[in-house]
Chains A and B, each alone.
Chain A
Amino acid sequence: MNRRLSTVSASLLTVLACGTLLRAVPPNQNAQTKTTAAKRAAPPKAPEAPAVSTATISVNGVTDIDPTKAFGSKTAPVVVEIYSDFQCPACKQLFLNTTQKVMDNYVNTGKIYLVHRDFPLPMHAYSRVAASYSRAAAHIGKCEAVEMVLFQNQEKWETNGDVKGIVAGVLSPAEMKKVQAIVDAKTLEPMIEKDKQLGLTLPVTQTPTSVFHTKGQNYPYAGTLSYDVLKEFLDQLIAQK
């Protein structure tokens, strides 16, 4: 009787163990589930930034010029560098009231080679973001349009930081996608930092600062320049022998 009872119990236990083993999930299936879950959790890969050139040029002794942020003839007798901050009110005034006229009357006529240098000030929260978007736009050939819209709408984006929205207003969706990819990849950040370091060696103590290069000399001028006064100065500078 006892032998029979123990045999039955052992058989029952064996059946139960086999049943448990049969109901367990095989290892291969687990790994596949984990991989799927991992794939679902990972963020989508960012689109690759378009290839941009970070090569710089030298003109009349002025080095490290980003050719996409420079305008005019490389054989012009005078090179003018403008160190500016997109969030600086005086820079806005210079850009809208003076630089545009200089572009029309001096740059486009081959008298001046104009170089835009970024000098984001630490107290301006969004100026570096604006510089990044402007630099990226320059590398797809949209420098002037983006700089204009950034300065014109300075009061809007400096309060809410919506630089992207302002820039998107003047670019097509395809252009904006390219610009955003460049900004996200931070490919051009070293060029902005290089401009900043060049300014610090002058030294640039405030923005805007314009540096006039002629005949091997450089003359930095801090502050806003009115076009009427600047015109007279440029005419005499260009006429120097």
Chain B
Amino acid sequence: MLQSFPFNYRRIILWIGRLVLGAIFVYAGFAKLLMPNTHLWPMFFLKFSVSTNLTMFQQQVESYKMLSPAAAGLLAHTLPFVEIVVGLMLVVGWGLRIWASVVTLIMVGFLGVVTRAYLLHMDINCGCFGTPEKLTGMTVVRDASFSALAVLMTCFAFIEARKPHPWNAATPEHSTGPHANQTVSS
């Protein structure tokens, strides 16, 4: 019975990782575009809101003092869109190994940057979710948790991809399903 059950601990963690990290990335991307200034209509208000929010995010990236202003500007204007795409692909589950790897790289990168800022006692905003949020020890812990989940999810995605699905791998003598009495033709 358990052998035909499609969920093992690896698949459970994969599902949790996909849903949790996918949702967080989509939310983070939209939050950077639409927060804290969230005037959506008419269209020129929306455009102005997105511009001001991205400018604010650029300032938050520059406050880490790791990139030049030009590089910070490029990152600030592309990262939100990357987060939305990656998050959606993770939730959908298509090309899981690729997108899980991308998410892991991004999360580990975030963790490194945030940890560096924390150890240097930098009094700055995290810039993670659009609204001003002080960078504290909890930010490091949060990012570490998400990074650990991302790493596990990626590893298990690769492991599970090598194995056939338990339903496809079930043999007749051990199966209790509807095809239990059928013989397997070579």
Contacts and interface: CB of A to CB of B under 8 A. Distances in A.
Interface of A: 90, 205-206, 219-226, 229-230, 232-233, 236-237
5 contacts: A205-B36, A206-B132, A221-B48, A224-B55, A226-B55
A225 B52 contact: yes
Most A-side CB within 10 Å, residue of B45, B52, B59: B52
B59 A222 contact: no
B132 A221 contact: no
Interface string B109-140: 00000000000000000000000100000000
Interface residues of B, number: 15
A223 B51 contact: no
Contact of B39 (A219, A232, A236): A219
A221 B37 contact: yes
Interface in B37-83: 37, 39, 44-45, 47-49, 51-53, 55-56, 59
A206 B133 CA distance: 11
Contacts of A223: 36-37, 52-53, 55-56, 59
Nearest to B56: A223
Contacts of B37: 220-223
A221 B44 CA distance: 14
Interface of chain A: mostly helix, strand, loop or mixed: mixed
Given A206-B132, A223-B52, A236 B36 contact: no
Contacts of A219: 39, 45
Most A-side CB within 10 Å, residue of B37, B47, B49, B132: B37
Contacts of B55: 223-226, 229
Given A222-B56, A223-B52, 20 more contacts: A90-B59, A206-B36, A206-B132, A219-B45, A220-B37, A221-B49, A222-B36, A222-B52, A223-B36, A223-B37, A223-B55, A224-B55, A226-B55, A229-B48, A229-B52, A229-B55, A232-B44, A233-B44, A233-B48, A236-B44
Contacts of A236: 44
A233 B48 CA distance: 7
Nearest to A240: B42
A206 B49 CA distance: 16
A224 B49 CA distance: 12
A176 to B, nearest CB: 34
Contacts of B49: 221
Contacts of B48: 221, 229-230, 232-233
Contacts of B56: 222-224
B33 to A, nearest CB: 13
A206 B44 CA distance: 23
B60 to A, nearest CB: 10
Contact of A229 (B39, B45, B51): B51
Nearest to B125: A206
A220 B39 CA distance: 9
